[in-house]
Structure formats: C-alpha cells, structure tokens
C-alpha cells in the first residue's frame, strides 16, 4: 500500500489535528498521500483530490470522522475495491468501528497486510422522467422518497421486477441495503439485517394502511417506484447527502450496483458488539 487517501470531516478541529498526525506518520513511512480537496489546506497540503479521484487512485483510504463522512467516500466506489479504514472521533459508528486511540496500531497492521475486510453491497438508483434517464446515483445506505414538510400523503406505485407489489400511501418509502438497515430504515420500523446478507429492505414511512409493513427482498431484484401524486413537494434523497425533486410520473429504479465497498474490520469488536453499544441492548 504505497498510496493512501486521507479524508477528514470538515469543520471538526479534532479531526484536522488527528489528520495532520496521520499525514506525518504516513510521510515517515514514505507513503504517497492523497488528501481530500475540501480539507487539504487545513492538513498542510498544497493541493487536494476529489473523493472520486481518491477512490480511483489510492491503495487504502483513511476516513477520519463519523459514518456520514465514510458514506460520502463509499458512494464514490469504483470498480477497484479499495480498502477503507473508518475512524470514529466520537462514539462508535456502525461503519466507523475504529476509535481514534486505535488509529496508529491499526494502520501499522493494515500497512503490514494484517487485516480483514467486510464487503458491503451498494445500490444503484436511476431517476427516469418521461421514459428517459436523467440521473443516476450509488448509495451504501439507502434510497429514500419522501414528502416535504407541508405535503400530504403521497402515492408510490411499487414494482419488483415485472410484478406489481402495491401502491404505498405514506409519507414516503425507504429502500435500504443491509448496511442501511441500522439507519433511517430502523427508525421507520425496519428490521436489523446482518451487513453480509444479500438482501434489500423496503420500509414505508408512516403508511396510511397500518398493515403495510417492511418487506425484505433478494438484492438481485429490480425495484421501480413511480410517483402517482401531483402537486406535492416530493424529494428523492440518496444516503441522506444528495437530493432531487420529483415530479408526478417520475420513476425511481433501484438495483444492486456492480461494485462493492471493502470496509476494514476492527480486530477489537464485531458487528454485534457495535449493536449492543449503539442500541444499548442488555441495559436496564
């Protein structure tokens, strides 16, 4: 691993401080560093690289921040499965399992080839208007269609492959990966899914019909959601970080992406350890 990408959460002083320390540590080991352009000056570099460029060129990407920062990197995954080391600067994250105190011992092991990765699936979403694709996205967590603050219940006609599922009358619909099952989908009553299981979950948001429950589907399914409500403020949101306005008749197509994300596992804790910590299972 000769080229290391470095992505630091913006406007977080402790992240910048740790980023400078990581950069100095990597320089001592003669590594080429690709800092993200948004924080490169703060880290002491003359120039930076866009996240998509980092994912195309780096042998390893170190992310200092939280799960949101890691999501912004993972969504730029290319056909090269670059190992990503996520370091959480607060409490443990579902994606950023390594703590700041563990950074340098973990980096030492990773650069020495002593690490395991967990391959996470991505979804690809397409926005079609009048039968023409006008945009496409990759997500690690979820694709969400929901109404604006003042909009009424919306109708979302939903198909799985060539089979009609139902028309959700709800505040919205979440289509989540197993990784995203512990995010917005969980808040909407969706199940927690082991991140290595090859499925996708559909979770309606506040459905008008209470029997509309979350449903788990195989991840090779092609899901189509058609907006059937006019004159309402409806938004398509990708991983909670990008958004597009929808019009009546717009179709959102969702399928498994052709690339995977490789997250470096923490040797100190498992997915279930993080679940117990984050969700406070077993506490009274």
Residue positions annotated with a catalytic role: 67
Tokens describing residue 78 = 């290319």
Backbone CA torsion sign across 88, 93, 94, 100: positive
Q: How far apart are CA 234 and CA 154, in angstroms?
A: 8
Q: How far apart are CA 104 and CA 43, in angstroms?
A: 17
CB 139 within 8 A of CB 72: no
CB 142 within 8 A of CB 174: yes
Q: How far is CA 78 from the centre of its chain?
A: 14
What dihedral do alpha carbons 155, 156, 159, 163 form, nearest 10°?
A: -10
């Amino acid at each position: 691993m000769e080229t290391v990408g470095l992505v630091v959460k913006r406007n977080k002083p402790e992240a910048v401080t740790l980023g400078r320390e990581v950069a100095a540590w990597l320089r001592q080991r003669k590594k080429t560093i690709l800092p993200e352009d948004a924080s490169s000056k703060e880290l002491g570099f003359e120039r930076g690289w866009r996240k998509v460029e980092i994912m195309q060129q780096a042998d390893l990407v170190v992310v200092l921040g939280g799960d949101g920062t890691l999501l912004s990197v993972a969504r730029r995954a290319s056909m090269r499965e670059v190992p990503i080391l996520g370091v959480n600067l607060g409490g443990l994250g579902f994606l950023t399992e390594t703590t700041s105190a563990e950074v340098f011992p973990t980096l030492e092991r990773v650069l020495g080839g002593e690490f395991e990765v967990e391959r996470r699936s991505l979804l690809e979403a397409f926005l079609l208007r009048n039968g023409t694709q006008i945009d496409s996205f990759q997500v690690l967590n979820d694709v969400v269609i929901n109404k604006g603050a003042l909009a009424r219940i919306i109708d979302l006609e939903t198909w799985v492959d060539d089979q009609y599922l139902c028309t959700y009358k709800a505040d919205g619909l979440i289509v989540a990966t197993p990784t995203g099952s512990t995010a917005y989908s969980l808040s909407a009553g969706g199940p927690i899914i082991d991140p290595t299981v090859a499925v996708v979950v559909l979770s309606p948001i506040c459905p008008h019909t209470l029997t509309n429950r979350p449903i788990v589907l195989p991840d090779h399914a092609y899901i189509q959601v058609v907006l059937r409500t006019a004159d309402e403020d409806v938004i398509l949101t990708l991983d909670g970080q990008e958004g597009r306005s929808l019009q009546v008749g717009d179709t959102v197509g969702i399928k498994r992406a052709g690339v995977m994300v490789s997250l470096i596992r923490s040797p100190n804790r498992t997915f279930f350890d993080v679940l117990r910590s984050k969700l406070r299972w077993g506490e009274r």
